[in-house]
């Protein structure tokens, strides 16, 4: 029987399935393993069901036991894994695409609504019972007729576009390549980032984290936005230069932000706390029972497919 290390606690139904399939080492305390402990715990294992919180960099991968043949990542992203290092060790890396699209897109829309309609300020006032209605109280930005720029029109970006269009938003997007007409939802394609940002009343960041997208939203590119734009991020924190975005908030270049992801999670840059217009969530994109169950099941499916055939359709390296 194959032996598997599971680095973070999963839902009970997923852990029960793993117990029936493998000799499995579970993380009952949901401890965030140090590099050394992860390496030690993987001794004698054939594979690791990892999480986005695991830093599987080149050093860690190079010190994994020779028995490790697969890293099945419990996430659609894989920026936590050094793919080149894994490939050199002949370790296959897989992810969990598709299953979290709907849940993450829902959070993407929540970020747009929360930031545009000043939800953080409203919640704070309601809890404090210190608000008084007036015609200009907490006036926000209406979505109908607003131009939404989507940075990265992948599965999640397309779902956000579909919902946003139903809310009356006018959709624009930038992608590595233009989508076919039937997949664009009548959106306008922009070949370069500057062109997209220049018309984005609201910017929804949905692109993958990579060397090319790291700090893509920075001091220079923020200036391309219309004054008073709203920025939301449902992708990865690495895409945004926090100091530059906070400076844009300070200068009122940016009206509000909606963030489900940010650098240094869970430690939020304190500069955001100075702004009531910052609507920030603790990485809830895939946080529904249905989605987390499906993600873990797909990660387990990836293990099964690999151990049966030596291949996996969800291989990313």
- pLDDT tens-digit profile of 14-54? 999 999 999 999 999 999 999 999 999 999 999 999 999 99
Question: Which contacts of 223-227 are long-range, i.e. CB under 8 A and separated by 24 or more positions?
Answer: 223/253, 224/193, 224/194, 224/197, 224/198, 225/197, 225/198, 225/200, 225/253, 225/254, 226/198, 226/199, 226/200, 226/201, 227/252, 227/253
Q: Is residue 105 part of a domain?
A: yes
The pLDDT of residue 77? 87
For position 54, what pLDDT does the model report?
A: 96
The DSSP output letter for 240 is B
141, 188: one domain: yes
Residue 265 lies in a domain: yes
In this prediction the pTM is 0.92
Do 87 and 116 share a domain, yes or no? no
Active site residue 265: yes
Which of these ranges, 32-41, 177-186, 194-203, 257-266, has the smallest mean pLDDT?
A: 177-186
Residues 78 and 143 reside in one and the same domain: no
Q: Is the domain of 113 the same as that of 203?
A: yes
Establish if 316 belongs to a structural domain: no
CA distance 95 to 315: 7
Is 271 domain-assigned?
Answer: yes
Residue 106 to residue 101: CA distance in whole angstroms: 9
Q: Are 277 and 259 in contact (CB under 8 A)?
A: no
| Whether residue 292 is found in the same domain as residue 174 | no
Q: What is the pLDDT of residue 3?
A: 98
Predicted confidence (pLDDT) per residue in 47-95, tens digit: 999 999 999 999 999 999 999 999 999 999 898 999 999 999 999 999 9
Number of Cβ within a 10 Å radius of residue 138: 14
Q: How confident is the model at residue 14, as a pLDDT?
A: 98
Same domain assignment for residues 138 and 187: yes
| CATH code of the domain containing 196 | 3.40.50.720
Number of domains in the chain: 2
Residues 184 and 126 in one domain: yes
Q: Please, which pLDDT band fits residue 209 given cuts at 50, 70 and 90?
A: confident
Among candidate residues 25, 117, 174, 283, the one labeled active-site is: 283
Q: Using pLDDT thresholds of 50, 70 and 90, give the confidence band for residue 300.
A: very high
Which pLDDT does position 211 carry in this prediction? 86
> Which residue among 15, 35, 223, 265 is the active-site one?
265
DSSP state letter for 273: G
Residue 317, domain member (yes or no): no
Q: Is the domain of 141 the same as that of 259?
A: yes
Strand partners, 170: 147
Is the distance from CB of 252 to CB of 222 less than 8 angstroms? no
Give domain status of residue 315, yes or no.
no
The β-bridge relationship of strands 92-94 and 47-51 is: unpaired
Residues 304 and 218 in one domain: no
List Cβ neighbours of 1 (8 Å cut-off, separation of 6 or more): 22, 23
Q: Give φ, ψ of 48 to 5 degrees.
A: -130, 130
Burial of 307 (0-12, 13-18, 19+ CB in 10 A): middle
Question: Does any domain span residue 260?
Answer: yes
Residue of 41, 44, 34, 49 whose CA lies nearest to 3: 44
pLDDT (average), residues 150-157: 96
Residues 94 and 165 in one domain: no
Are both 121 and 188 inside the same structural domain? yes
Distance CA 200, CA 172 (A): 8
Rounded to an integer, the average pLDDT of 203-229 is 95
Check whether residue 300 and residue 272 sit in a common domain.
no
Percent of the chain with pLDDT over 70: 100
Among 236, 252, 275, 292, the one annotated catalytic: 236
The pLDDT of residue 75: 94
Residue 180 within any structural domain of the chain:
yes
Q: What angle do CA 263, 268, 273 make, to 5 degrees?
A: 135
Q: What range does the domain containing 17 cover?
A: 3-99+288-309
Average pLDDT over the chain, rounded to whole?
A: 97
């Amino acid at each position: 029987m194959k032996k598997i290390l599971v680095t973070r606690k999963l839902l009970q139904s997923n852990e029960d399935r793993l117990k029936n399939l493998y000799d499995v080492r579970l993380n009952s305390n949901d401890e965030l393993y140090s590099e050394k402990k992860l390496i030690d715990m993987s001794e004698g294992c054939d594979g690791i069901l990892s999480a986005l919180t695991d830093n599987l960099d080149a050093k860690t991968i190079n010190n994994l036991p020779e028995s490790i043949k697969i890293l099945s990542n419990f996430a659609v992203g894989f920026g936590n894994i050094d793919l080149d290092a894994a490939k050199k060790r002949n370790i296959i890396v897989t992810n969990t695409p598709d299953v979290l699209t709907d849940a993450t897109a829902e959070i993407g829309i929540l970020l747009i609504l929360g930031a545009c309609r000043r939800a953080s300020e409203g919640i704070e006032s309601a809890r404090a019972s210190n608000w008084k209605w007036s015609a200009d109280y907490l006036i926000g930005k209406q979505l109908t007729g607003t131009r939404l720029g989507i940075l990265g029109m992948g599965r999640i970006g397309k779902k956000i576009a579909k919902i946003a269009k139903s809310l009356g938003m006018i959709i624009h997007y930038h992608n590595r390549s233009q989508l076919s007409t039937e997949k664009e939802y009548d959106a306008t394609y922009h070949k370069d980032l500057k062109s997209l940002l220049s018309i984005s009343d609201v910017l929804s960041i949905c692109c993958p984290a990579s060397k090319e997208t790291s700090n893509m939203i920075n001091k220079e590119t923020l200036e391309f936005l219309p004054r008073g734009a709203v920025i939301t991020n449902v992708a990865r924190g690495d895409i945004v230069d926090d100091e530059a975005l906070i400076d844009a908030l300070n200068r009122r270049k940016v009206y509000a932000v909606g963030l489900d992801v940010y650098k240094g999670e869970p430690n939020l840059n304190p500069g955001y706390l100075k702004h009531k217009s910052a609507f920030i969530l603790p990485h809830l994109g895939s946080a529904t029972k249905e989605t987390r169950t499906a993600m873990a099941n797909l990660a387990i499916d990836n293990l099964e497919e690999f151990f049966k055939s030596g291949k996996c359709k969800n291989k990313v390296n």
